[in-house]
Amino acid sequence: MKLTKLTAFLLGSVMLGGTAHADKWSDMFPHIKNSGDIPGECSYESMSKKDYSGRKLTINTHAVPVMGEPTALHAEQFAKLTGADVNVIHTPAGDLYSKAMVPFQTGQAPYDIVFGFSQWISDWKQYLEPVPAKYVNMKQMQDVTNSHIDVNSWDGTMYQFPIDGDRHYLKYRKDVIDNPEMQAKYKAETGKELRVPQTWKEYGEIATFFNGWDWDNDGELEYGSAEVMAKDNLMFAAFFSRAVAYAKNPKTPGGFFFDLETMEPQVNNPGFVEALTDWVAATKYVPPGGINFTLGDETMSFGGGQTLFSFSWDDAFVAAMEDGSPIKNKVGAAPLPGAEKVWNRSTGKWDNEYNQAPYIVWGWTSAVAKKSKNHDMAFDYLCFFSNDANHRADIAIGRFGVNPFRKSDFDPDLYVKNQGWDPEIASEYSKTLLDMEEKSTNRVFPLRTPGVAQFTSAVATGTSKALAGQLTPQEALDEVAAEWKKIIARVGEDKLREAYAVGVALEDNLE
């Protein structure tokens, strides 16, 4: 009797002691209460052993909440654990580049850590401290998908620290596409199947059909598609997403934006022109003002239930699936539509076969300044930011903007349990993203050459002129190509080719 009681007592206290250990961190830091601290080189436990008291860390990140809120939150946690003084500044997305580049180019380093878009790597890698091997070899880094390691590295060296994943994918209203009544109606009036569009032409047809009437009975008109069309620094990515299917031909390796050998811009070839023609037609099935939609407007539009489709970053999907959203669990995810034909630049003709190509769009990333005096602290912070416990908690909070980028992220249960997603939708989401990341062989990598901002700015100007009807698609893209040639002349053809080759190698040598 006594022995049993004693054993029970001892057993109980050992168990309590054990769980008390795992709960110690989640008690102090409610953010990780679901998982507790997960052991690793950068876990809460490990960080608490470091002492950075008396040292200051300065971080430039995006506005709250996307990326901004997790940065500030983890900064607070880091400061508590290590005694460091962490300062975070928030900057709107469009200004992150200049806010980092002005100091870099004048030889200063007011920020130890900068957040930005991974496509800037070519412009700013000279100012960045490569990620030390110690961090690259950590288990949490090895879990990152290959695409994201590639997008943050240059020629084998990792310059940027992956903390987020981004991609473009198709989002659609399940309550319409999977709805038997709507399917019947669509078939009756058009003779075609209502399904997740497989090509951009199909996308356009379905969007046009559902444009301008109230198909979900909420008293408001709905429209076909919400797209990023405003002439800002993101819309060129929406254009490229539409273009890759028409222009990325697996039979013609050696460059997508340029022909690698001649450095001739490809942006005005018939593949791109076809995509731009589609896009100009899209201006007919976007909501009023859609031609001036920024990513924020697109998120509000699709996420607020105004359109049938959307296809750029995660934000719209996340907004739609938030608790309190009227269309929660009514949206689905699918790969970007392909095209029924793809341009072959070697033969100068269209190959009339189905083609699909994921556009590995750049996304949020972070980096440590070379001139910073706090490399150790900075990398520890970034590692802590993306440690298993924090990461698991972050992806469960939609507004944080932290999206899956690790192989272990693509587990539907995470979304079902933590965010209340419908299991079917969670599976569809995970599968779509994982396939794009790991399984596709016909990928396009973002343009990451010197002067990338100038190239994309030219694309934005040209395509928006076409959208506004100031020029025809061919004229607009010819203008862009001409501007690209001038930029190449300024950068230097050889220098550009060298840089572009890095990306092409990734596209062509898959694995």
Partner 1 sequence: MFRFYGLLKYSFICIWSVYVIAPFMWAITTSFKDFNSVTGGATYIPWVDFEPTLDGWRQLLLSPSEGGVALVQPYLNSIMVTLLSSAISLVLGTLAAYSLSRFKFRAGFIKNSDITFFFISQRIMPPVVLSLPFFIMLGHLGLLDTLIGLTIVYIVLLLPIAVWIMVDFFNKIPVEIDETALIDGCNPVQAFFRVVLPNSIPGIVVASLFCIIFGWTDFFFAFILTFTEVQLLPVAVVALNSSITPWWSLSAAALISVAPLIIVAFIVERYLSKGNLSGALK
Partner 2 sequence: MNFKHKYIFLLPGLLVLLAILIFPIGFTVRLSLSSWDSFYPGLDFIGIDNYIRLFSDDPRFWEAFGRLAILSSVTVTLQYVLGFTLAHLVWKDIVFKRFFRVLFLIPMMTTPVIMTVLWRTIFHESLGPINDILSLFDVTPRWLSDETLALVTVMIVEVWQWTPFMFLLLLAGLLSLPKEPYLAAEIDGAGPLRKFIYVTFPLMAPISVGAIIIRLIEASKIMDTIFVMTSGGPGTSTETSSFYIFIKGLREFQMGYSAAMSFTYLIIMIISLTVIANILVKVFVKGN
- What is the binding site for partner 2 (CB under 8 A)? 94-95, 97-98, 101, 105, 123, 230-233, 287-292, 297, 300-301, 306, 450-451, 453-454, 457, 461, 464-465, 467-471, 486, 490-491, 495
CA contacts within 13 A on the Cβ side of 356: 16
| Interface stretch with partner 1, choices 39-47, 55-63, 388-396, 448-456 (CB under 8 A) | 55-63
- From residue 207, alpha-carbon distances to 55, 202, 317 in Å are 55, 8, 18
Single-letter code of the amino acid located at 43: S
Closer Cβ to partner 2, 47 or 481, answer by number: 481
Tell me the sheet residues that pair with 172. 309, 332
The torsion angles phi and psi of 246, rounded to 5 degrees, stand at -80, -25
360 vs 150: CA distance, rounded Å: 10
237 binds partner 1 (CB under 8 A): no
CA distance 16 to 35: 17
- Nearest distance from C-beta of residue 78 to partner 1, angstroms: 11
Q: What does 412 bind: partner 2, partner 1, none (CB cut-off 5 to 8 Å by kind)?
A: none
Least spacing, CB of residue 357 vs partner 1, in Å: 25
Instruction: Give the binding range for partner 1 (CB under 8 A) out of 70-78, 270-278, 368-376, 471-479.
Output: 70-78
Helices assigned H by DSSP within 250-365: 270-282, 295-303, 315-320
8 A C-beta contact, residue 448 and residue 499: yes
Least separation in angstroms between CB 63 and partner 1: 4
Q: Which residues contact 478 (CB under 8 A, 6 or more apart)?
A: 268
**Which among partner 1, partner 2, none contacts residue 39 (Cβ within 5 to 8 A by kind)?**
none
Residue with Cβ nearer partner 2 (427 or 464): 464
Q: 4 exposed, middle or buried (CB, 10 Å; 0-12, 13-18, 19+)?
A: exposed
* Cβ-based nearer residue to partner 2, 70 or 451: 451
| Residue 88: contacted member of partner 1, partner 2, none (CB under 5 to 8 Å, by partner type) | partner 1
In 225-351, alpha helices (H): 235-247, 270-282, 295-303, 315-320
Decide if residue 305 touches partner 1 (CB under 8 A): yes
Residues that bind partner 1 (CB under 8 A): 58, 60, 62-66, 68-69, 71-73, 75-76, 87-93, 95, 98-99, 102-103, 106, 108, 110-111, 218, 220, 294-297, 299-301, 303-306, 313, 315, 319, 322, 324-326, 399, 401
